């Protein structure tokens, strides 16, 4: 597997364009299952997870062609509404085919995703919602079989126990072809949910309330193919914002929706960084010492769990002590032992990490098995003294498009070292 070799110390300066959002693209590509015909998606990031989703759709008989940031899908009746273990184990988000398949074909068989590097992550809420809409759910040999005895889902009120992101997306995508009205209560409010609703509505669906905690969907008989440009990736943007601040840099990120980044911007400002909306983007400038701030992750519009590891690196270099609480996933501190090996002073008790600021980090060989944790190690490498080797960048390639080229464009010394294939 490839690794990154990073020589720390360079101040990041300049501007870069943020790519399309991975977590918006994945459910949107699955929405192509809802309508036969030619779909075109623009601003799609060239990422390993997007390729895996393409492969999954192809195994079902769709044609998927990505050329740069344009991804075309020719959708047609699937051979078999099945998501096999081989693909689901590679990418948990494969479960996003469940809602569209059940809506369109009245049945689906999807491998249970099981645990992943950041926690158990069950899908009980997805299944509960489909059952409320008239589906029968069976578990068999690690697969979940969902079947709608009457053929078509029926609208229902579904109260989610927690605002699950992919659960809300699956149920929204199922409800658009159901008979009657579905109301999702305690729905996730992430910008990616709003983006999916925009796409479904362009396809002829009637979804209202996306972005709030109550989403109402009036089911339709059929939908049309769509042409849509995917919104910018707020987590990629946030990661570069932190990288800029960590290196005391001055960076402009183009094509970012600032409103999606309020919680991250607020914490960075509190820590002493300048974060300003500028034109169609955001500028981050950091000079002088950073102040320690406390962070608690929460569903949107709270502080995103997908930015917790990156902000922690900033706190490693801040004056004082910060307390970082992870409330979404039970095992999302995999970066901590690696950061400590680089000279950080972080202790973890349950879901809380206490970070005592240090004067410097030293380069080391590090690795993590979670995408965002790996990104945080790259940021640590940028500010560490000497050379850092980040191993298994496979995980970073799942979610960051050309990260080494983008960072090098801002003045970082980073190169990809090809390794033996996995």
333 touching ligand EPU, by CB under 6 A: no
Considering only 109, 125, 182, 374, the residue that binds ligand EPU (CB under 6 A) is 125
CB of 328 to ligand EPU, least distance (A): 5
Check binding of 123 to ligand EPU (CB under 6 A).
Answer: yes
Query: Which range of residues in 1-9, 54-62, 161-169, 236-244 is near ligand EPU by CB under 6 A?
Result: 161-169
Count of residues near ligand EPU by CB under 6 A: 24
Cα–Cα distance, 113 to 79 (Å, whole number)? 22
Output the smallest distance, CB 167 to ligand EPU, in A.
5
- Answer for the pair 252, 17: CB distance below 8 angstroms, yes or no: no
Q: By CB under 6 A, is residue 124 in contact with ligand EPU?
A: yes
Does 93 bind ligand EPU (CB under 6 A)? Our answer is yes
- Binding flag, residue 165, ligand EPU (CB under 6 A): yes
Q: Are 34 and 203 in contact (CB under 8 A)?
A: yes
Examine residue 9 and tell whether it contacts ligand EPU (CB under 6 A). Answer: no
Comparing CB distances to ligand EPU, the nearer of 11 and 128 is 128
Contact with ligand EPU (CB under 6 A) among 4, 41, 303, 329: 329
Q: Indicate which single residue of 162, 185, 229, 417 sits in contact with ligand EPU (rule: CB under 6 A).
A: 162
Q: Which stretch binds ligand EPU (CB under 6 A): 159-167, 178-186, 315-323, 360-368?
A: 159-167
Decide if residue 189 touches ligand EPU (CB under 6 A): no
Q: Half-sphere exposure (CA, 13 Å, Cβ side) for 1?
A: 14
Q: Which is nearer to ligand EPU, 191 or 363 (CB)?
A: 191
* Binding of residue 238 to ligand EPU (CB under 6 A): no
Q: How far is the CB of 304 from ligand EPU (least distance, A)?
A: 6
Q: Which lies closer to ligand EPU via its Cβ, residue 165 or residue 176?
A: 165
Q: Which of the following is catalytic: 1, 46, 116, 348?
A: 116
φ, ψ of residue 189 to 5 degrees: the values are: -115, 15
User: Quick check: 308 binds ligand EPU (CB under 6 A)?
Assistant: no
Interface with ligand EPU includes 328 (CB under 6 A)? yes
Q: Which of 166, 182, 250, 310 binds ligand EPU (CB under 6 A)?
A: 166
To the query of whether residue 30 is one of the catalytic residues in this protein, the response is no
Residues 357-376 contacting ligand EPU, CB under 6 A? 371-372
Q: How far is the CB of 156 from ligand EPU (least distance, A)?
A: 16
User: Stretches 116-124, 178-186, 276-284, 336-344: which one binds ligand EPU (CB under 6 A)?
Assistant: 116-124
Q: Note the Cα 214 to chain centre separation in Å.
A: 22
Span from 115-123, 177-185, 250-258, 403-411 in contact with ligand EPU (CB under 6 A): 115-123
Name 217's bridge partners.
Answer: 182, 207
From residue 272, how far is each of 15, 245, 284, 325, 378 by CA, in Å?
Answer: 21, 9, 11, 20, 22
Is 139 a binder of ligand EPU (CB under 6 A)? no
Does position 305 bind ligand EPU by CB under 6 A? Answer: yes
Q: Is 114 in the site for ligand EPU (CB under 6 A)?
A: no
Give the sign of the dihedral formed by CA 49, CA 55, CA 58, CA 60: negative
Separation between Cα atoms, residue 415 and residue 391, nearest integer Å: 12
- Asked if 126 is part of the footprint of ligand EPU (rule: CB under 6 A), the reply reads yes
30 binds ligand EPU (CB under 6 A): no
Annotated catalytic residues are 116
Contact footprint for ligand EPU (CB under 6 A): 23, 26, 93, 119-126, 162, 164-167, 188, 305-306, 328-329, 371-372, 399
């Amino acid at each position: 597997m490839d690794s990154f070799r990073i020589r720390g110390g360079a101040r990041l300066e300049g501007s870069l364009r943020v790519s399309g959002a991975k977590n918006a693209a994945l459910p949107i590509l699955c929405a192509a299952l809802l309508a036969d015909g030619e779909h075109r998606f623009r601003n799609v990031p060239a990422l390993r997870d997007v390729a895996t989703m393409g492969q999954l759709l192809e195994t079902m008989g769709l044609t998927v062609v990505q050329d740069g940031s344009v991804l075309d899908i020719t959708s047609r009746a699937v051979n078999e509404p099945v998501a096999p273990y081989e693909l689901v184990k590679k990418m948990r988000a494969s479960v996003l085919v469940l809602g569209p398949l059940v809506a369109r074909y009245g049945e689906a068989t999807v491998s249970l995703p099981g645990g992943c590097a950041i926690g158990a992550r069950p899908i009980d809420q997805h299944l509960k919602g489909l059952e409320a809409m008239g589906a029968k759910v069976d578990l068999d040999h690690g697969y979940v079989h969902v079947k709608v005895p009457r053929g078509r889902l029926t609208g229902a009120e579904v109260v989610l126990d927690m605002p699950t992101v992919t659960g809300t997306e699956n149920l929204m995508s199922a409800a658009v072809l159901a008979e009657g009205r579905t109301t999702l209560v305690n729905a996730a409010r992430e910008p990616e949910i709003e983006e999916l609703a925009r796409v479904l509505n362009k396809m002829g669906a009637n979804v209202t309330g996306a972005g709030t905690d109550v989403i109402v969907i009036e089911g339709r008989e059929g939908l049309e193919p769509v042409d849509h440009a995917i919104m910018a990736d707020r987590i990629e943007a946030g990661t570069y914002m932190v990288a800029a601040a960590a290196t005391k840099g001055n960076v402009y990120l183009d094509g970012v929706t600032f409103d999606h980044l309020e919680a991250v911007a607020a914490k960075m400002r509190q820590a002493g960084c300048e974060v300003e909306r500028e034109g169609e983007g955001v500028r981050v400038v950091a000079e002088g010492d950073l102040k320690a701030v406390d962070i608690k992750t929460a569903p949107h519009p709270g502080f995103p769990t997908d930015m917790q590891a990156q902000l922690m690196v900033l706190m490693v270099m801040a004056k004082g002590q910060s307390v970082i609480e992870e409330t979404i996933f039970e095992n999302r501190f995999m970066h901590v032992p690696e950061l400590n090996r680089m000279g950080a002073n972080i202790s973890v008790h349950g879901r809380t990490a206490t970070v005592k600021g240090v004067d410097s980090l030293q380069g080391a060989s590090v690795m993590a098995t979670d995408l965002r944790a790996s990104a945080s190690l790259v940021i640590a490498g940028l500010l560490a003294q000497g050379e850092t080797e980040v191993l298994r960048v496979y995980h970073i390639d799942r979610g960051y498009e050309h990260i080494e080229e983008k960072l090098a464009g801002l003045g970082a010394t980073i190169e990809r070292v090809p390794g033996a294939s996995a």
